[in-house]
Amino acid sequence: MALSLKAYNLLREKIITLELEPGEPLDEKRIEKEFGLGRTPVREAILKLEADNLVDVFPGKGTYVKQITLKGVRDLLQALLILERSVIQLTLLNITPEQISEIRSVHEEIKEAIRERDSLRITNYNSQFHRLIAKASNNEYLATYIQKIRVEEQRLAFLCFSKEVSAAYPLKEHFEQVIEQHSNIIACLEKKEAQRLDEEMVNHNRLFHRRIFGYLESYLLEEVGIRSTSRKRSYA
């Protein structure tokens, strides 16, 4: 594995799991020391994270984990819904039985991760589930745009899959709905049911919307961005 990719994967996971908190500065020299890497691979990793919209780089001021705002979340979910509703029509035309089988296998991995309550695995496999649907469209541009948004969305998904919002909407109920909706999406792909598939994708987006905004509005109000300044950050 290239050193820059190693640094990217390590930092990306810490951002997704909120171990590196929104608004937190990234100390490149400390990252170099703790990862045992030189300046170039760390710098390349940060540039890739910036391209993924996970960090903000301010020349002369430093690099910070990107904040999560209500407007940013709304914009992301709106863009994701528009793109995925567009791509599924092409997916229905181009998807192969082998691709459906691969999507189903990932769905089984999601269910296993849910049983084990492994929030990071759930997040990663959920993203893979949707990226495979986009890839099956056989449209490189649409699949690339969706993949880019899905990378940024993973941080929100981790919040959804790891935090209780309220007793009125427990995580167990959320997972049950995710599994049901994913099963319905697969069935629509197999049966080539365009209208129903569109409805399922809209409902799935609404489910995520309700979960993430329930969390943000209940706990964080206008912005997630509280970072600890009382302890030394470890990147390793």
pLDDT-above-70 percentage for the chain: 89
Task: Tell me the whole-structure pTM to 2 decimals.
Answer: 0.85
For the cut 50, the answer to whether the pLDDT of residue 230 exceeds it is no
Collect contacts of 39-42 with beta carbons under 8 A, ≥24 apart: 40/4, 41/2, 41/3, 41/4, 41/6, 41/7, 42/4, 42/7
Q: How many domains does the chain have?
A: 2
pLDDT tens for each residue of 86-134: 999 999 999 999 999 999 999 999 999 999 999 999 999 999 999 999 9
Whole-number average pLDDT of the chain: 88
Q: Is residue 81 part of a domain?
A: yes
Residues 128 and 59 placed together within one structural domain of the fold: no
- E strands, the chain, are 25-26, 55-58, 62-65, 68-69, 223-224
For the cut 70, the answer to whether the pLDDT of residue 226 exceeds it is no
Residues 123 and 23 placed together within one structural domain of the fold: no
Q: Domain range holding 96? A: 71-218
Residues 58 and 92 placed together within one structural domain of the fold: no
pLDDT-above-90 percentage for the chain: 67
Q: Is residue 31 part of a domain?
A: yes
| Residue that the structure tokens 């296998």 belong to | 105
CA pair distance 166, 153, nearest whole angstrom: 22
For the cut 50, the answer to whether the pLDDT of residue 3 exceeds it is yes
Contact 236, 35 (CB under 8 A): yes
pLDDT tens for each residue of 14-39: 999 999 999 999 988 888 888 888 88
Locate all alpha helices (DSSP H) within 64-96, ordered by sequence. 70-94
Question: What's the average model confidence in pLDDT over 170-175?
Answer: 90
Residues 54 and 85 placed together within one structural domain of the fold: no
Q: Is residue 180 part of a domain?
A: yes
Residues 49 and 119 placed together within one structural domain of the fold: no
Q: Is residue 151 part of a domain?
A: yes
Residues 88 and 150 placed together within one structural domain of the fold: yes
| Residue that the structure tokens 């029509």 belong to | 89
| CA end-to-end span of the chain | 17
Residues 121 and 43 placed together within one structural domain of the fold: no
Looking at residue 231, its pLDDT comes to 43
CA pair distance 99, 55, nearest whole angstrom: 33
Residues 46 and 84 placed together within one structural domain of the fold: no
Question: What's the average model confidence in pLDDT over 156-182?
Answer: 86
